[in-house]
Structure 1
Amino acid sequence: MEKVNLTSPDLVQKNIEAIAAAFPNVITEVKDSQGNLQRAVDFDLLRQELSAVLVEGDKERYQLTWPGKRQAILQANAPINKTLRPVKDDSVDWDTTQNVYIEGDNLEALKLLQESYLNKVKCIYIDPPYNTGKDFIYKDDFRQSTEEYLQDSGQVDEQGNRLFQNNESNGRFHSDWLTMMYPRLKLARNLLKDDGVLFISVDDNELDGLKKMCDEVFGSSNFRNTILTRRRVKSLNSQFASNGLYSLNVGFEYILVYAKSSAFLMKALRMKKDKVPTQGRWDVFWSNADRPTMRYDILGFTPETGQWRNSKEKADKAVANYQKYEAEFESKMTLEDYSEIAGVTEFIRRIPNGVGKNGGVQHWIAPSDTSLRTSNWTDIEVSQIGKEIDLPFDNPKSKALIMELVKLTDLNNDIILDFFSGSATTAHAVMQLNAEDGGNRQYIMVQLPEATAEDSEAYKAGYKNICEIGKERIRRAAKKIQEETNADIDYGFRVFRVDTGNVKDVYHSPQELHQDMFSDLTDNIKADRSGEDLLIQVMLACGLPLSLPMQTKEVMGQPVYYVAENSLVACFAEEVPEELVRLIAKDKPLRVVFRDSSFASDAARINVEEIFKALSPSTEIKVL
């Protein structure tokens, strides 16, 4: 039987395998720190394979680099021995919901989601710390003990996750922030579908570095827009205005938009105009895009360059529409009135003796109270002005802003991920939008349980960390939306917490072993872990989404776990009799997992394999 791999994926080895498939000659062997041989890449040879000229050493090139970049790449690729543990008491509608809330370091959470959500997320929105000199950001040195880190920074959350305040006096002010963001963006990209998109809120402090980093991680060709959003203007400068200002008050922030690939297309959104026109207008029908197949005769003129804006079929119909108006209705009513009465908006004409690239050919644009959205979203404030849900959290992101971003993505039955979820505005926005349009969008929220200050309103109200605020907001928002709309949508969420792996760390040299350690060698599961804890880690290892339906059945007095009917069946009983194995095999599961210690001998394990060969030969059998 094969053992379940309970660490997160080793992305270095996956990358080496991908390179080996294309360039097997660049793969070599090196010894690791224990003296074992492992595969590696001959980078000098790989560089030569990718160049049409002789490569001789390093050459200067345009790139983003900073102290800590290599460490950031290592952090992104390194596997971890962590898991997600279910927290049913904090969850809502556990059995039926498809929404997920994860408490813990988002780098670890992203690593744990790599198999289950690879290429499955349509939209990611994040609002990372802005690096203003006051924000706490993640310090991802996994080699450091909590005690060492407490001496280093004095900041640690309830789960032992490390934070530090990145003050401007720190010589690595920008480098630390970039090092924190880089591995998270690399891992996040893996989760996006080919037609997926990433939105990142940022201000002036790290805009330049963040864009260069995203160009590297996503490819500069996948940059789509920088969206401007309005920032609440503070009156800080008014008291100094008479003396001259060092700088202006900041009036807006940014949202960087990056696609996973060229497959992503935005939905054309419209916004209300401040002044609504009463008359239509004529505009040129020619554009400078160079498509020869879109050059054809209109009213005696064919362009030599560029193209017409529509197909010949549509243009001919628009010409006929205007000719009918001229012949039968021009003396009786305006074109605006005719358009409204006839329900026709497409008209094309040619100005007599028209010259130029377009030959005087024009199309009519009907009056409208809306216009197509551009990247200027300053009609939306980036932070919520008034608190819709009365909870002690400063400057929550605008729900309207995130709803508009989701609309831009044009998703209806997809997953939205926010791994800096804060007060869970994204979850609120997803539920609100589902209630309004009947969509079935699902969310995954990830938030570090950062402790609230003891003198804060949140702490006084009983919220010891930000996760408690986020979960309570989702509960209250769900209740409010349900009362106001009575919409039949998913109001629940499953809560998981990042924790150490379920298997004991039993790595001792022979001279260190003594008698009371042998129980650890026979039963490798930690004593405080439940069957559901084990099930979730197995689901992650098998690449199964955390939202799948789970059912516990009692079979011969033992709990047997079924995930998505027979996608996965697991039994973690200390002893699994042969008849129980037969009953499970008759359900013909795609995968089955047992506890390794459930079988007394190799003969018992072989017997299990023989039973499945006879009753369900396609079942994949693994043990913990």
Structure 2
Amino acid sequence: MDKLKMHSPDLTQDNIAKIRALFPGCVTEAAGEDGKLRLAVDFDQLRQELSDSIVEGPQERYHLNWPGKREALITANAPIAKTLRPARDESVDFDTTQNLFIEGDNLEALKLLQETYLGKVKMIYIDPPYNTGNDFVYDDDFAETVGEFLAKSLQEDDDGNRLVANPETNGRFHSDWLSMVFPRLQLARRLLRDDGFIVVSIDDVECHALKRVMDEVFGEANFVASLVWDKNRKNDAKYFSVGHEYMLVYVKSLQELKDHDIKLRAPKEGVDEAKANFAQLRKEHGEDWEKIAGGMKAYYKTFEEDDPRLPLARYTKFDAKGPFRDDGNINWPGGGGPTYEVLHPETGKPCKLPKSGWRYPTKKRFDEEVAKGRIVYGPDETTVPRVRTNLFENFDQVLTSVRYSYAQTATLEFEEIFDGSRVFENPKNYKDLSLLVNYLTGPDDIVFDFFAGSGSTAHGVMHANSSYGGNRMCISAQIGEEVAKDSEAANYGFKLISDISKERIRRAGQKILEGECHPDWNKDVGFRVLKIDSSNMADVFYTPDQTSQADLLSRVDNVKPDRTAEDLLFQVLLDWGVDLTLPIHRETVQGKTVFFVDDTALMACFDAGISEELVKELAGHAPMRIVFKDTGFANDQTKINVRQIFKAMSPETEVKAI
């Protein structure tokens, strides 16, 4: 019977296999440190394959480099023998929710999710720690001492003498930051769909370096936009009041968007509300357009200066189709447009031509717009016709790259969730993220944030679902970083940043449910907490050759004694690449506990003493996959017969053991 490998995939071997598919002559087999044959790349041959001239030595090229880059790439590809353990008591609606909260180092989380969510995520948003000149809490072994950095970057000679001045500001912390973010972006790219987006928040310190890294990881051609968020003012600044941050936006494949003619649009803020107001005024005043206009303009006057609904106030005319404006430009953009004859409907004479030609390429196309009521003529032919725009027919828009979002508002709304306490500094505005989620994703897509922080992304996804409709799933990952001692978070009772994230999602979800919700939302405000831990398997599972004969009897069971059956189940889900949010229920069958994942998508029984009768009953369910514990069978004969039983009763079932 085949066994599950029970560790994350070896991405180096995966990458080499892809190279072999393109350049078979560049890949061979070589013995690893353990003596086993592994795929290996002939780099000299590969370099020659990628060059149209003879390659002799290192060539100068345009690229970003820093001390530690190669180690970071190796670390991104190396497998880990870890797992995700469920924490029911910290979860909300564990058995039914579609959302995940992963507690642990996000580099490990990204590795563990590679098989399950490969190419399935529509949007990744991250707000990584900004470079403040300090080391990071992420334990990648990338953070170096000053001495290590100077030696590696050739800023120190063999005797330890410094070769350059100002070593502290000469790249060490930039290198540490790049080495921290680089492998995470490498792994994140693999999770994105071809039409998926990644959005990364950053400030001035590393914006230029982040752009270069993302160009390398995602491809310069897949850069979409650099968003600028005007957040606040600092009157105590010495030189300029820097009150903005950036969001760099990339798509996995811009060609995918072009091939499918995918365009991004967002609903104009307040259109639904304006519809409701207009309908009420029609009910009160019928077709008295003067009174209706007065009521709508009074409604417009309630908008504040920074209100996102303010553009609606430009629709100052009204008829049965609703608010409209008729001052639209009918000119061909750039000049040199078509000059066909358009007759005025009253005078019958040719209308005055727009300076750069008609906006519509043919007279037929122009007449179609007239029939739809989208062209407005002047009193006679001496006036150029204009374009009419109806608000209720033109309710979406392209987002601008400069956005306004005041940090104080986000902070106050966050503090309100925690009874006025500031348990987290500088939380991102969940409404901004909700806007981006709605703009970049569809109603059933997956959103992933592996620097969850205060939980703003999860809050934003719930807000988007409840406001715009849809059942988007959110995966959040946050390392269990300790809060500062004597901080408001510590005084409030929090020990870890991840505890703040989880509690924020709990409270925000309940608050959203108390308000008005979109009818097309499943009202899922839960999340399934999974914690990164060492493998459930004992060391003998991974290193059987290092186990002496005297130890065999004490290690018959290859599972650690403190692990539950549900712990084993989630490691199996990871290893098999099964969706971690599928519904799970357990039943007692012939006295044994059997897990049913999404009915029969996967069945598992990790009890001891499994008989042939039980195996036959489980085979009768015809599951897609089934897994047992290798040491769980009543006798060797049952273990031998398992595959034959399924071959006879359910030949499509994939059978494995741990």
TM bucket normalised to smaller: 0.7 to 0.9
User: What's the CA shift string for 1:267-314, capped at 9, x where partnerless?
Assistant: 323454479445643536434699xxxx866438999x9996667754
Between the aligned partners of 1:55 and 1:169, the Cα distance in structure 2 is 37
Please, which runs of 5 or more residues in structure 2 have no aligned partner?
A: 145-166, 269-307, 317-324, 343-351
Alignment of 1:47-446 (within 5 A): 47-134=47-134, 136-141=136-141, 172-237=172-237, 245=238, 247-262=239-254, 263-264=256-257, 265=262, 267-269=264-266, 270=268, 271-273=308-310, 276-277=313-314, 280-283=326-329, 285-287=331-333, 298-299=340-341, 313-318=364-369, 326=377, 330=379, 364=387, 366=389, 372-379=398-405, 381=407, 384-386=410-412, 387=414, 388-390=416-418, 392-446=423-477
Which position in structure 1 is the counterpart of 2:512?
A: 481
User: TM-score, with normalisation over the residues of structure 2?
Assistant: 0.78
Deviation, structure 1 residue 315: 2.9
Between the aligned partners of 2:495 and 2:589, the Cα distance in structure 1 is 41
- Pick closer, same or farther for the CA change 1:59–1:324 going to 2, 3 Å: closer
Deviation, structure 1 residue 41: 1.2
Which position in structure 2 is the counterpart of 1:458?
A: 489
Which position in structure 2 is the counterpart of 1:564?
A: 598
Which position in structure 2 is the counterpart of 1:530?
A: 564
Between the aligned partners of 1:11 and 1:289, the Cα distance in structure 2 is 53
Between the aligned partners of 1:576 and 1:302, the Cα distance in structure 2 is 87
- State the one-letter code of the partner of 1:364: V
Does the 8 Å contact 2:376/2:386 carry over to 1?
no
Which position in structure 1 is the counterpart of 2:346?
A: none
Between the aligned partners of 1:502 and 1:549, the Cα distance in structure 2 is 22
User: TM-score, with normalisation over the residues of structure 1?
Assistant: 0.82
Between the aligned partners of 1:211 and 1:330, the Cα distance in structure 2 is 54
Between the aligned partners of 1:231 and 1:434, the Cα distance in structure 2 is 25
Between the aligned partners of 1:573 and 1:250, the Cα distance in structure 2 is 61
- Pick closer, same or farther for the CA change 1:289–1:2 going to 2, 3 Å: farther
Deviation, structure 1 residue 531: 0.5
- Pick closer, same or farther for the CA change 1:57–1:558 going to 2, 3 Å: same
Does the 8 Å contact 2:29/2:40 carry over to 1?
yes
Which position in structure 2 is the counterpart of 1:3?
A: 3
Deviation, structure 1 residue 50: 2.5
Which position in structure 2 is the counterpart of 1:17?
A: 17
Deviation, structure 1 residue 316: 3.2
Q: Specify which of 639, 643, 649 is matched with residue 615 of structure 1.
A: 649
Does the 8 Å contact 2:338/2:362 carry over to 1?
no
- Pick closer, same or farther for the CA change 1:312–1:554 going to 2, 3 Å: farther
Which position in structure 1 is the counterpart of 2:528?
A: 494
- State the one-letter code of the partner of 1:547: T
Does the 8 Å contact 2:97/2:527 carry over to 1?
yes
User: What's the CA shift string for 1:182-241, capped at 9, x where partnerless?
Assistant: 11111111111111101100000110010100011111111000001012223323xxxx
RMSD: 3.3
User: What's the CA shift string for 1:443-502, capped at 9, x where partnerless?
Assistant: 111000100122111112110001111111111111111112266510211101000000
User: What's the CA shift string for 1:21-43, capped at 9, x where partnerless?
Assistant: 22211112333223433221112
Deviation, structure 1 residue 14: 0.9
Q: Specify which of 622, 630, 634 is matched with residue 588 of structure 1.
A: 622
User: What's the CA shift string for 1:377-429, capped at 9, x where partnerless?
Assistant: 12554971413412511111101110111122142111111100011111111
Which position in structure 2 is the counterpart of 1:503?
A: 537
- State the one-letter code of the partner of 2:366: A
433-442 or 194-203, larger mean C-alpha shift: 433-442
Does the 8 Å contact 1:273/1:370 carry over to 2?
no
Deviation, structure 1 residue 371: 7.1
- Pick closer, same or farther for the CA change 1:421–1:350 going to 2, 3 Å: farther
- Pick closer, same or farther for the CA change 1:400–1:27 going to 2, 3 Å: same
Deviation, structure 1 residue 351: 7.9
Which position in structure 1 is the counterpart of 2:283?
A: none
Deviation, structure 1 residue 134: 4.9
1:470 paired to 2:501: yes
Does the 8 Å contact 2:326/2:386 carry over to 1?
no
273-282 or 522-531, larger mean C-alpha shift: 273-282
Between the aligned partners of 2:509 and 2:7, the Cα distance in structure 1 is 35
Deviation, structure 1 residue 604: 3.0
Alignment size in residue pairs: 560
Q: Specify which of 616, 621, 633 is matched with residue 599 of structure 1.
A: 633
Between the aligned partners of 2:48 and 2:454, the Cα distance in structure 1 is 50
- State the one-letter code of the partner of 1:552: R
- State the one-letter code of the partner of 2:136: F
- Pick closer, same or farther for the CA change 1:200–1:555 going to 2, 3 Å: same
Please, which runs of 5 or more residues in structure 1 have no aligned partner?
A: 145-166, 238-244, 332-348, 353-361
- State the one-letter code of the partner of 2:417: I
- Pick closer, same or farther for the CA change 1:189–1:450 going to 2, 3 Å: same
Say which SS state the counterpart of residue 502 (structure 2) adopts.
helix
Between the aligned partners of 2:427 and 2:197, the Cα distance in structure 1 is 22
Say which SS state the counterpart of residue 562 (structure 1) adopts.
strand
Which position in structure 2 is the counterpart of 1:550?
A: 584
Say which SS state the counterpart of residue 131 (structure 2) adopts.
coil
Between the aligned partners of 1:218 and 1:468, the Cα distance in structure 2 is 32
Deviation, structure 1 residue 168: 5.8
- Pick closer, same or farther for the CA change 1:43–1:324 going to 2, 3 Å: closer
Does the 8 Å contact 2:455/2:502 carry over to 1?
yes
- State the one-letter code of the partner of 2:44: D
Q: Specify which of 570, 573, 580 is matched with residue 607 of structure 2.
A: 573
Identity %: 46
Say which SS state the counterpart of residue 205 (structure 1) adopts.
helix
Does the 8 Å contact 1:571/1:594 carry over to 2?
yes
Say which SS state the counterpart of residue 76 (structure 2) adopts.
helix
Between the aligned partners of 1:582 and 1:129, the Cα distance in structure 2 is 54
Say which SS state the counterpart of residue 596 (structure 1) adopts.
coil
Deviation, structure 1 residue 266: 5.0
- Pick closer, same or farther for the CA change 1:578–1:297 going to 2, 3 Å: farther
User: What's the CA shift string for 1:110-163, capped at 9, x where partnerless?
Assistant: 10000111111111111000112257342303999xxxxxxxxxxxxxxxxxxx
Does the 8 Å contact 1:231/1:252 carry over to 2?
yes
- Pick closer, same or farther for the CA change 1:298–1:412 going to 2, 3 Å: farther
- State the one-letter code of the partner of 2:379: E
